[in-house]
Amino acid sequence: MIVFDYIIKGMNREKTPKRVYVCHTYYHVYIAAVKELILQHDKKGSADIVLSTMSNDFESLKERLESAKVFQNVYTYDEKEDVTSEEVMRYHRDRENIVLNLMQRIKYTKLLGKLQEKYIPTDMSKYKDVYVFCDSDPIGYYLNYRKIYYHAIEDGLNSGRLDDQARLANKGAFPLKCFMAKLGLIFIESGYSKYCIDYEVNDISANHKPPKNVIEVPREDLNDKLSKEDHAVLVSIFLENPERVVGQLVDKNSTKPNVMILTEPLCELDVRKKLFGDIISEYENDYRVIIKPHPRDLLDYEKEFPGVCVVKDRFPMEVLGDIDGFKVDKLVSVITQVENVYFADKIVYLGLDFLDKYEDPSIHRKTELLDK
């Protein structure tokens, strides 16, 4: 018990009472903002936020976050992938021997963490609580390298249901690798790191073989705690031009009910065009079709499907539920998890069986293959 108390005191020594969130996507920022708005109801300190530009262009989001004043400081982080360093990549190759691979992985873990050192925009060790979305990215290696305790948050809503990143990235000798991760020698994401305090998910039952430190924080419960003013703040943050977007979404001249189709960067472009073209054809006679492209979906839906409403602005789909008065009769998704959606009367989830018709199942049924 004395040892445990010492560890906890060491985790909090000389730390500011502030929190910091490290985000890689608009969805991450949305959840971080929701959490902070709720905490501010009870005046529970303040927080900073870090936007990683490694895999996402946040455009003018930083300025809108600063104007909203939900976070005290808004930082950007030029997170460095392993491929940006020849030295790191020297230790990222298959030696065809489990012992040799693990030995070089120890070196890789340290070097990838060290690579981030001069790019981290704020001193992570000074925060009382560090929250990281998608800790599989280099920031997780940095926290492991610096021995900084943190809270991991699932990458996307129920992301563990379709894909278990930790097990997929460590297929061979997983128990041994977990043991080494708990010693801090190597890094494993999503709750398995020595320095990961807990792994937060929306729904424990939806996650595939979660680690022991997993905790459940339902997104629906968070939404229920938001005030009308909070919803307005979220709209101001995530919609660069709210009037234009709302004008697109609400067509007072249309007599048809609305159906919104969420696209995803699935399959090759030609296959994706066929897949979503089939979905549009199913609804276009009886519904006013609204397309919400995924931020990483490069298919030009306006060109390919003239006549449908395409909302191309980059924002998390969840913010549509913050728009006062906006509703759709049906929300259609292929594999994006959309349980916690409050602007749709009915959710149509097509699932993997539908995707099987357009793409080799082995590509998207990774978790099922782990059990075989």
The DSSP letter of residue 343 is S
Closest CA to 280 of 291, 268, 296: 291
Spelled out in words, what is the top-level CATH class assigned to the domain 2-222?
alpha beta
Ranges for all domains in the chain classified under CATH 3.40.50: 2-222, 241-370
Structure-token pair, residue 137: 């990215």
Contacts 24+ apart (CB under 8 A), 197-201: 197/149, 197/150, 197/151, 198/151, 198/152, 199/151, 199/152, 199/153, 199/154, 200/151, 200/152, 200/153, 200/154, 201/154, 201/158, 201/160
Partners of 292 in the β-ladder: 262
Q: Which CATH class is domain 241-370?
A: alpha beta
Give the residues across from 348 on adjacent strands.
Answer: 332
Buried b (16+ CB within 10 A) or exposed e, 61-86: bbebbeebebbeebbebebbebeeee
134: closest CA among 208, 215, 201? 201
SS (H, E, C) 242-277: HHHHHHHHCCCCCCCCEEEEECCCCCCHHHHHHHHH
Residue 254 has which token pair?
Answer: 């249309």
Beta strands in the chain (DSSP E): 16-23, 47-52, 73-77, 127-133, 150-153, 196-201, 214-216, 258-262, 288-292, 309-310, 328-333, 344-349
- The confidence score (pLDDT) of residue 314 equals 87
Q: Give the pLDDT confidence score for residue 207 in this predicted structure.
A: 78
Sign of torsion over alpha carbons 113, 118, 121, 122: positive
Question: In sequence order, what E strands does 113-170 have?
Answer: 127-133, 150-153
Stated pTM of the model: 0.86
Mind listing the pLDDT tens digit of every residue in the chain (372 residues)?
434 443 444 444 456 779 999 999 999 999 999 999 999 998 888 999 999 999 889 999 999 999 999 999 999 999 999 999 999 999 999 998 999 999 999 999 999 999 999 999 999 999 999 999 999 999 999 999 999 999 999 998 888 666 688 888 898 899 999 999 999 999 999 999 999 999 999 998 887 788 999 999 999 999 999 999 999 999 999 999 999 998 888 887 888 999 999 998 888 899 999 999 999 999 999 999 999 998 788 899 999 999 899 998 889 889 999 998 889 999 999 988 777 788 999 999 998 899 999 887 877 676 555 454
Three-state DSSP class for residue 171: coil
| Residue 57 tokens, joined | 């262009």
Under 8 Å between Cβ of 58 and 93: no
The pLDDT value recorded for residue 36 is 97
Neighbours of 298 (CB within 10 A): 10
SS3 content of the chain, % helix, strand, coil (to 5): 45, 15, 40
The answer to whether 308 touches 285, Cβ cutoff 8 Å, is: no
C-alpha–C-alpha distance, residues 335 and 333, integer Å: 6
Question: Are 150 and 130 in contact, with CB atoms under 8 Å apart?
Answer: yes
